[in-house]
Structure 1
Amino acid sequence: MSLRFSLMGPVRAWRDEEEIDLGPRQQRAVLAALLLNNGIRLSNDQLIGMVWDDPTPSAVMALRTYMYKIRKAIPELDLKSKDGGYTLRAELSDDCRDEPLVGLTSTYFEAQRARIANERLHCREALLERELDVLELQKHVAAFPLRERPRALLMQALFREGRQAEALDHYHHVRALLNDELGLEPGPELRKIHAQILKGDLNLARRPDQLPPGLPDFTGRTVEIAAALRALPRTVGITGMQGSGKTALATHVAHLAKHQFPDGQIFVRSHDVANELLRAVGVENPHGDKAALWREKARGKRFLIVVDDVVDPAGLADLHTPGSAMILSSVRRLNALPGVTWVKLAGLTEGEAHQFLRKVLDPARADAEAEAAGEVLSRVSHLPNPIRVLGGKLTGRPHWTVAMLLAQMERETQLGSAVPSDCRAVLAPMIKAEQQLSDEERHLLQCFSRRESDVIDICAAAEMAGVEPGAIEYVLEALADVHLIEPLVLGRYRLPRFVRMYFGWRAPVLTS
């Protein structure tokens, strides 16, 4: 279950996809004041001063009443009074399309409205600078005709499209406008760009925008997202088993944070990371020390770099530059890399998995068989990729029930090698993981999967494998490193249900 709040337009809140009734205007104003000071303790007097311009003695009682009703409407906030004040921590989710704080009229909210509007204007112009889209810049210039920065950007965009004459004509137009309206000459940025266009030497730095689109049905991971955003601009690593959604989370976090990195976003899947970074900023066929060349190109810039499916940490050595940030995804946690904040992914929570299935499948079908749906989700350990495949399969079979899917899953785990293609799609994360295992690791997982208990210790594992406990510990730790078993306390491990299902199916049948 997730909470979202918006300050754009009227103050609003949602629990998952359902909007929460926040009560009357002044109650919304109290919540807005807390949200605007996210994570900061506000005393009763501070809150009253923000919400009421001329508070009466009854404001104290009104504040208590509003706080009581906010806690009742949104108990997940855990909003408790401490030392005569309140602290709220929440995630704001705004699309910037509406005016902020609509309906809130105190002096405090008027000042916050002006501050937010100014921040939005700067964010909008930072986005326009990255994209240099002529049409969007023309719209922005029409809305803010006396702002010189977007005028300069429009001249650059026109020049980049080969419209040099239009860029020069635009300069003369804005010069006349500034003279008529303000009695001023254009500022140094406009004059410099005008001179560069006249000489034909306006060099526009390439601003890469390589992030894949985010998933429209991305669900959950609230804790992991918050941890990653807190860590940036330090390097963030996302680790987890195959199918856990590492790439989706890395991309989602990158889209949330990209406005902080105006020089561009780079997405790399290549093993030669330095080479791909240089190509992204316009350096083709680089020679010599690529890492040093990248550091030179990135000096003073703010790039956001996503490196997906990292295998060799040596390929990332010496690539970090101050001001830029990296988000890494890797099955293994790469402990040799210094200064990385690691976020570990397992399956979704039970609630998140149900919510995701309702997005992939018709919600009415998922809700009608909640118990069967819960069993299906449990069998794949609540991993997003298998859930997407199974939900898609049911969507393509409108006359099937979830119970029918569950029955087919029962049969398919007993089919040996004759596995249907849609089942193989569900098992794809495990198939990929198995391809990277040694014979010894594979054999141990198959033996483990035949046991009734999902927990094993080193001694039992050694007995199954017929080796000494000291030797089997290395195998168990290797499996834990790729998240096929979960380390509990020293010497004890748990087998996830999805792993048990796959390797139990793969295990050879024992005959007497």
Structure 2
Amino acid sequence: MSLRFSLMGPVRAWRDDEEIELGPRQQRAVLAALLLNNGIRLSNDQLIGMVWDDPTPSAVMALRTYMYKIRKSLPELDLKSRNGGYTVRAELIDDCRGEPLEGLESAYFEAQRTRLSQHRLKAREDWLERELDILELQKHVATFPLRERPRALLMHALYREGRQAEALDEYHEARTLLNEELGLEPGPELRKVHAQILKGELTLPRRPEQLPPDLPDFTGRAEQIAKALQTLPGTLGITGMRGSGKTALATHVAHLVRNRYPDGQIFVRGKDVANELLRAVGVENPVGDKAALWREKARGRRFLIVVDDVQEPCQVKDLHTPGSAMILTSVRRLNELPGVTWVKTAGLTRTEAHELFRKVLDPARVNAEPQEAEQVLDRVSCLPNPIRVLSGKLTARPHWTIAMLLAQMERETRLGAAIPSDCRSVLAPLVSADRALTEGERHLMTCFARKDAEVINVCEAAEMSGSEPGEIEVLLEALADVHLIEPLDLGCYRLPRFVQMYFGLRTPALTG
């Protein structure tokens, strides 16, 4: 259940999508004072001073009454008096309804109204700087004709579109207004842009926009997403088996937060990460310490960086900068990297898997064969990509039933029929994982898979493979590191169904 508040306009609150009645004006004023100091303890005297300019002795009783009513309507806030004061921690949004703190009257609220208005204005101009939309800039300049920053941005945007004369006209109009209204000349930013246009030297900073598109049918991962949003702008690491949806999750999270990073989004997949970051901001063929050069270029700026399929810690070491966010994906959890918060991708939950199945395949067809649908999800360990591919195949065959797909998967004992030939792309991640294994690891995986047991321990693994327990434990841990098996209790491991199907029935045609 989500509780949200807005101070931009009347004080408002929502529980999920339902708006909550917040009571009379002074009660809303008490709540607003708490929200304006989100996470800070306020004493009774401080709250009274914020809400009433000239409080009477009855203000103490009034405050207690309002607190009681706020606790009753908003129990999630856990508003209990602690150490003679109150603290709230809440999610604030800007729903752009009007003047901040509308209807609340006190010297404190008047000062906060000015602060919030300036904050909103800066946020709007940050957005205009990112987009450089001429029409939106013209509207903003018309509303705030004496503000120099948006006027300079409009000159940038016009010049970029080849409208040099109009850009110069904006400067002359700003100069006239500033002279007539304030008796001032344009400031250094406007003068600099004007001079650069006259000399033909105006260059626009490169703002990379490299994020891959988000999946339209992205489903689930609520727990991982919540942890990711808490972590950023720190460094987030996403680990999991090949093909488990690491890149999809990284991309989805990046799209959720992209507007927080006005200097751009960079997507890197390759060994020389520092070099690719520098190229993204216009530095070609850098020499020397590339990591140090990147930190210099990124200082004071806010980038969102996704580094996909990190192989070694040295690829991303020393590249994170304050204010920027970095999302890493790696098959192996890179514990050598300090300051990284890791989340893991595996199969979706049953509920999420069914939801994805229904997004791609007609829900009526899934509902008509619930047991068969359950078997398909089980065979692919609820992994999103196989679900997407197999349900896409059924969508392309409207006269097929899910039972027919299962029959095709079961027709032969070899893997070539376990996954239909036109759906082999679902196996590509496992083929890549197989090729990266040593002979000892591959032999152990094959023994485990063909034993047809979901769980084994170190002793059982040693017996089936003919190796010593000490040697086997090292191999099992290596396989767990790349998520082909899942560690349970000490010395005990589980084999996902989808991985078991591949290694138990793998053929040279698929692996070579």
Match of 2:257, as an amino acid?
Answer: A
Please say if 1:151 is aligned against 2:158: no
Q: Which residue of 2 aligns with 1:493?
A: 493
Pairing 1:152-171 to 2, within 5 Å after superposition: 152-171=152-171
Deviates most, 382-391 or 329-338: 382-391
How far apart in 2 are the matches of 1:415 and 1:402? 20
- Distance of aligned partners of 1:297 and 1:58 in 2 relative to their CA distance in 1, 3 Å threshold: closer
Query: Is the contact made by 1:378 and 1:497 (CA closer than 8 Å) also made in structure 2?
Result: yes
The Cα shift of 1:411 comes to: 1.7
Query: Is the contact made by 1:385 and 1:426 (CA closer than 8 Å) also made in structure 2?
Result: yes
The Cα shift of 1:168 comes to: 1.3
Query: Is the contact made by 2:13 and 2:20 (CA closer than 8 Å) also made in structure 1?
Result: no
The Cα shift of 1:373 comes to: 3.5
Query: Is the contact made by 1:261 and 1:304 (CA closer than 8 Å) also made in structure 2?
Result: yes
Q: Which residue of 1 aligns with 2:392?
A: 392
The Cα shift of 1:451 comes to: 3.0
Q: Which residue of 1 aligns with 2:445?
A: 445
Query: Is the contact made by 2:415 and 2:507 (CA closer than 8 Å) also made in structure 1?
Result: no
Could you give the per-residue CA deviations for residues 70-92 of structure 1, whole angstroms, max 9, x where no partner exists?
Answer: xxxxxxx7x76755899887777
Q: Which residue of 2 aligns with 1:296?
A: 296
How far apart in 1 are the matches of 2:346 and 2:197? 54
The Cα shift of 1:309 comes to: 0.9
Q: Where do 5+ consecutive residues of structure 2 fail to align? A: 54-58
How far apart in 2 are the matches of 1:24 and 1:232? 33
Q: TM-score under structure 2 normalisation?
A: 0.80
How far apart in 1 are the matches of 2:335 and 2:454? 28
Match of 2:189, as an amino acid?
Answer: E
Q: Which residue of 1 aligns with 2:263?
A: 263
Q: Which residue of 2 aligns with 1:99?
A: 97
Q: Which residue of 2 aligns with 1:200?
A: 200
> Highest CA radius of gyration, 1 or 2?
2
Q: Secondary structure at the match of 1:320?
A: coil
Please say if 1:333 is aligned against 2:333: yes
How far apart in 2 are the matches of 1:48 and 1:320? 44
Q: Which residue of 1 aligns with 2:455?
A: 455
Pairing 1:360-439 to 2, within 5 Å after superposition: 360-367=360-367, 369-405=369-405, 407-408=406-407, 410-411=409-410, 414-418=413-417, 419-439=419-439
Task: Give % identity.
Answer: 66
Pairing 1:43-442 to 2, within 5 Å after superposition: 62-63=69-70, 65-67=72-74, 98-99=96-97, 118-367=118-367, 369-405=369-405, 407-408=406-407, 410-411=409-410, 414-418=413-417, 419-442=419-442
Q: Secondary structure at the match of 1:348?
A: coil
How far apart in 1 are the matches of 2:28 and 2:502? 53
Query: Is the contact made by 1:446 and 1:507 (CA closer than 8 Å) also made in structure 2?
Result: no
Match of 1:287, as an amino acid?
Answer: V
- Distance of aligned partners of 1:265 and 1:23 in 2 relative to their CA distance in 1, 3 Å threshold: closer
Match of 2:232, as an amino acid?
Answer: L
- Distance of aligned partners of 1:112 and 1:352 in 2 relative to their CA distance in 1, 3 Å threshold: farther
Match of 1:417, as an amino acid?
Answer: G
Query: Is the contact made by 1:240 and 1:346 (CA closer than 8 Å) also made in structure 2?
Result: yes
Could you give the per-residue CA deviations for residues 181-213 of structure 1, whole angstroms, max 9, x where no partner exists?
Answer: 555433332123223333333343222222223
Q: Secondary structure at the match of 2:437?
A: coil
Count how many residue pairs are aligned between Structure 1 and Structure 2: 490
The Cα shift of 1:51 comes to: 11
Aligned-pair Cα RMSD in Å: 4.1
Query: Is the contact made by 1:100 and 1:116 (CA closer than 8 Å) also made in structure 2?
Result: no
Q: TM-score under structure 1 normalisation?
A: 0.80
- Distance of aligned partners of 1:346 and 1:323 in 2 relative to their CA distance in 1, 3 Å threshold: same
Q: Secondary structure at the match of 1:329?
A: strand
Match of 1:134, as an amino acid?
Answer: I
Query: Is the contact made by 2:349 and 2:382 (CA closer than 8 Å) also made in structure 1?
Result: yes
Match of 2:410, as an amino acid?
Answer: R
Query: Is the contact made by 2:22 and 2:70 (CA closer than 8 Å) also made in structure 1?
Result: no
Query: Is the contact made by 1:127 and 1:262 (CA closer than 8 Å) also made in structure 2?
Result: yes
Query: Is the contact made by 2:3 and 2:13 (CA closer than 8 Å) also made in structure 1?
Result: no
- Distance of aligned partners of 1:412 and 1:324 in 2 relative to their CA distance in 1, 3 Å threshold: farther
- Distance of aligned partners of 1:83 and 1:326 in 2 relative to their CA distance in 1, 3 Å threshold: same
How far apart in 1 are the matches of 2:39 and 2:398? 47
Could you give the per-residue CA deviations for residues 222-243 of structure 1, whole angstroms, max 9, x where no partner exists?
Answer: 3322322333333221111122
How far apart in 1 are the matches of 2:161 and 2:382? 49
How far apart in 2 are the matches of 1:261 and 1:422? 41
- Distance of aligned partners of 1:166 and 1:61 in 2 relative to their CA distance in 1, 3 Å threshold: closer
How far apart in 1 are the matches of 2:48 and 2:371? 48
Query: Is the contact made by 1:25 and 1:104 (CA closer than 8 Å) also made in structure 2?
Result: no
Query: Is the contact made by 1:485 and 1:494 (CA closer than 8 Å) also made in structure 2?
Result: yes
Q: Where do 5+ consecutive residues of structure 1 fail to align? A: 69-76
Query: Is the contact made by 2:71 and 2:78 (CA closer than 8 Å) also made in structure 1?
Result: no
Deviates most, 358-367 or 241-250: 358-367
Q: Which residue of 2 aligns with 1:73?
A: none
Could you give the per-residue CA deviations for residues 415-434 of structure 1, whole angstroms, max 9, x where no partner exists?
Answer: 44355344313333323322
Query: Is the contact made by 1:159 and 1:197 (CA closer than 8 Å) also made in structure 2?
Result: yes
Query: Is the contact made by 1:50 and 1:106 (CA closer than 8 Å) also made in structure 2?
Result: no
